[in-house]
Structure 1
Amino acid sequence: MQKAKAFADQYNIPKAYGNYDSLLFDPEIDVVYIATPHSHHADLILKSLRNGKHVLCEKAITMNGKQLEEAVYLAKEKNVILAEAMTIYHMPLYHKLKDIISSGQLGKLKMLQVSFGSLKEADPSNRFFNKEIAGGALLDIGVYALSFARFFLNQQPSEILTTMNLYETGVDEQSGILLKNEKNEIATVSLSFRAKMPKVGMAAFEKGYITVTDYPRADKALITYPDGATETVEAGDSAKALHYEIAHMTDKILNGTKDDYLALTQDVMAIMDDLRQQWGLQYDFE
């Protein structure tokens, strides 16, 4: 409580709580934002939903599809909103790109390439490699790459091929992923926790390809046409990425805005479940 009170005083926050229950039992709290390690997301999501709170939860929203299914069901039962704080779904740039794609000017989607590599300190005790709190590249950075791919794919992948290297703690250090759906759209995804790679996503269409650099919070993309001509597309502001998530959550609560972001979140979780099953990677507390 002392730590929470000091934080509240520093930022002029009217209330502070010494534990989760006292916050969740407060009738004046409408929405809860969950940013604990993802190993603890499911329990806090369910507790929040049971207390009638709308929930915006950091990625990966849960550990697996079973947990997510339970949360989705409970949110519907309680008539509250559940959403994943996935920046890709909320950045204005992606909605502008979707409009361009929908116009047909680029033709059909053919290929996607997505990479995300972070050079994390080789410390087995930190959260990135700690299996006790669901460490590993897939649930931390892979969810971004897969969300980028699923956002552009017109259908959930039906074929998933993969290979992975384990870190000494038993979590995934790096992996290669190949996705294909029944529309013959193919995506390749490269992830690493011990090698820096550019956060670049590329979507190739019949009549040009889109390149998005630093795609998790991008506000700019480049379209390259077959003749070499290029077009820059800009929308939003990278610095306001979290603002867009909050604005969307508020709009959804107040106005009942319809979107399929939660469906995309469920699709990505299904892909990650499949990958971990192929890898034989499970966490003791699942």
Structure 2
Amino acid sequence: MPICEGDPSRRTASRELGAGALLDIGIYTLTWASMVLDAHPSRRAAKAPEPSLTASMVFASEVDPDKQVDEQTAVVLRYPDLKAHAVCTSSLLYKTGDVFARIHGARGSISVGGPAASKPSFLLVNVQGEPEERLDFAVPGWGFHYEADAVAQSIREGKTENETCPLDTTLTIMARMDEARRQCGLVYPGEEES
């Protein structure tokens, strides 16, 4: 979905509508990293500090302000307390293969794959010295119905947020996206006034 080739009035190309790799698909990489590292039991028990964040973006145009939208974004989250980091990348210039997330540790790795980051359908588990194991699971539709069902259930129960993805989690991911944009100088129309 290169920005320069897209209809400038569409959400995927329009600065006014928040176009760009980070806001469109980068949220998935940041969310996967958060699910793995922020939720680590030792971080929760110790109320560990936020990871440090370093970001880089490649814009559709470095000179045309109307096309200063990120076509590629990389965010590195550093978790010194875990001796770990997450490299979160997103690009509108090409589609990756089936595997969209990898978790590497001292004893092996887990790869997560499927048609999209919003619809994982298999895991590849590699434990050092053992044969690779593939775990497949069915996900009907595109997966967003789970989110819709969770919201509907919370509304029925009179809740203003859902414990699967509480407000604090959403605000954390949004703050990381805002910090990545700040570091790279990505400002959308209307933000200059605030």
Distance, in Å, in 1 between the alignment partners of 2:6 and 2:148 is 34
Q: Partner of 2:69 in structure 1?
A: 171
Distance, in Å, in 2 between the alignment partners of 1:249 and 1:235 is 23
Query: Given the superposition, is the C-alpha separation of residues 259 and 120 from structure 1 closer, same or farther in structure 2, using an over 3 Å criterion?
Result: same
Q: Partner of 1:284 in structure 2?
A: 189
Q: Would you identify which runs of 4 or more consecutive aligned residues in structure 1 move more than 4 Å?
A: 118-121
Contact 1:180 1:186 in 2 (8 A): yes
Gap regions ≥5 residues in structure 1: 1-117
What secondary structure does 2:71 align onto? strand
Given the alignment of the two structures, is residue 140 of structure 1 paired with residue 38 of structure 2, yes or no?
no
Note the alpha carbon deviations across 1:84-104, whole angstroms, 9 max, x for none: xxxxxxxxxxxxxxxxxxxxx
Q: Partner of 2:151 in structure 1?
A: 249
Q: Partner of 1:200 in structure 2?
A: 100
Contact 1:219 1:238 in 2 (8 A): no
Which segment drifts farther, 132-141 or 228-237?
Answer: 228-237
Query: Given the superposition, is the C-alpha separation of residues 119 and 172 from structure 1 closer, same or farther in structure 2, using an over 3 Å criterion?
Result: closer
* Residue number among 187, 212, 218 corresponding to 2:112 in the alignment: 212
Shift of 1:131: 1.0
- Structure 2 length normalisation: TM-score? 0.75
Contact 2:4 2:13 in 1 (8 A): no
Contact 1:252 1:258 in 2 (8 A): no
Note the alpha carbon deviations across 1:32-53, whole angstroms, 9 max, x for none: xxxxxxxxxxxxxxxxxxxxxx
Cα RMSD between the aligned structures? 2.4
Residue correspondence of structure 1 range 223-242 to structure 2 within 5 A: 223-239=125-141, 241-242=143-144
Query: Given the superposition, is the C-alpha separation of residues 236 and 121 from structure 1 closer, same or farther in structure 2, using an over 3 Å criterion?
Result: farther
Shift of 1:232: 2.7
Q: Partner of 1:112 in structure 2?
A: none
Shift of 1:278: 0.3
**AA at the equivalent of 1:187:** A
**AA at the equivalent of 1:134:** G
Aligned identity (percent) is 25
Distance, in Å, in 2 between the alignment partners of 1:120 and 1:246 is 29
Distance, in Å, in 2 between the alignment partners of 1:147 and 1:245 is 14
Query: Given the superposition, is the C-alpha separation of residues 283 and 119 from structure 1 closer, same or farther in structure 2, using an over 3 Å criterion?
Result: closer
Distance, in Å, in 2 between the alignment partners of 1:181 and 1:247 is 33
Distance, in Å, in 2 between the alignment partners of 1:208 and 1:270 is 31
Shift of 1:246: 2.3
Larger Rg: 1
